[in-house]
Structure 1
Amino acid sequence: MPARRDVDPAELRTAVAATLPWLDDRAPRPGRSELARAVRLSLRTLEQLAPGHTVEVRVPPFSAVQCVSGPRHTRGTPPNVVETDPHTWLSLATGRIGWDRAIRQELVAASGSRADLSWWLPLLRIADPDGQAPEK
């Protein structure tokens, strides 16, 4: 399988920016292809920032990646899994919600001793239209 090319930060920012009105509850859900692109690019960015195969991060129905260095799993369900919906994932990726809050509110299912992504999040910060910085 050929290696994936690195994510272009401008491409990531453009893809995620297209979802911001939805993330900020100012617009309906984006089209499937726009949403898929933002989720996939952001997950690939996480994969680049935290290389490894210890944690599987799932954002159904769009994508899943393995990341974080440490012991590698090879068969069956991995011991460290993070799963969430696209809205929560992109909110985490942009800092609109913090990791601890997402866990407390049960917006993220995280199992395993290494399934804490707070070190790598947010992946990018994009201010809301009023110029306010998103939550940390």
Structure 2
Amino acid sequence: MRRLRSALDEQLATLGEPAFPGSDEEAVAACTFLALRLEDPPRALLKAAVRCGLAVLADRAPGHSLEVRVPPYGAVQVIEGPKHTRGTPPGVVETDPLTWLRLAVGRADWKKAVDGNDVRASGVRSDLSEHLPLWPDE
């Protein structure tokens, strides 16, 4: 979380804005919205937003039956169901960082992202539409 706050506050300072005063989860949301606001978000900001957003998803949808991958920044296991211990999990979702952030705030529709091949989803529990967006765009 320290890295996320550092990346967020550094970018806000670059934009002439004050440091972010909110809670940790609010900081994750703010970092995500800021990364999407920028035409070319800095790698540290993008990485922090993706990793912390994945952690929020894992907290809200605990389990081990689905692996959500956002290369090159992170992966988490989520959703209750059969636990796997080796090899490929029973369900996998994979997308790029900006698509993940758009899904996290509701700027991308889950079904359209899957149908448009922006998200690759396989397995019985691979539909994340029930868990996204994490922070609806206001």
In structure 1, distance between residues paired with 2:78 and 2:34: 25
Question: Counterpart of 2:25 in structure 1: which amino acid?
Answer: P
Question: Are positions 1:110 and 2:121 aligned together?
Answer: yes
- Give the alignment of 1:7-26 within 5 angstroms: 8-22=24-38
Shift of 1:104: 1.0
Question: Counterpart of 1:86 in structure 2: which amino acid?
Answer: P
SS of the aligned residue for 2:121 comes to strand
In structure 2, distance between residues paired with 1:71 and 1:58: 18
- The answer (yes or no) to whether the contact 2:70–2:100 under 8 Å persists in 1 is yes
Question: Counterpart of 1:89 in structure 2: which amino acid?
Answer: W
Question: Counterpart of 2:30 in structure 1: which amino acid?
Answer: T
Q: What do residues 68-90 of structure 1 show as CA deviations (whole Å, max 9, x unaligned)? A: 00100100011200000001100
In structure 2, distance between residues paired with 1:35 and 1:66: 20
In structure 2, distance between residues paired with 1:60 and 1:13: 20
| RMSD after superposition | 1.3
SS of the aligned residue for 1:57 comes to strand
Q: How many positions carry a matched residue from both structures?
A: 116
In structure 1, distance between residues paired with 2:137 and 2:91: 29
Question: Are positions 1:125 and 2:122 aligned together?
Answer: no
Identity of aligned residues (%): 50
In structure 2, distance between residues paired with 1:15 and 1:93: 12
Of 27, 40, 49, the residue aligned with 2:60 is 49
In structure 1, distance between residues paired with 2:50 and 2:100: 8
Shift of 1:12: 1.0
Question: Are positions 1:95 and 2:106 aligned together?
Answer: yes
TM-score (norm. length: structure 2): 0.80
Query: Which stretches in structure 1 are left out of the alignment for 5+ residues?
Result: 1-6, 128-136
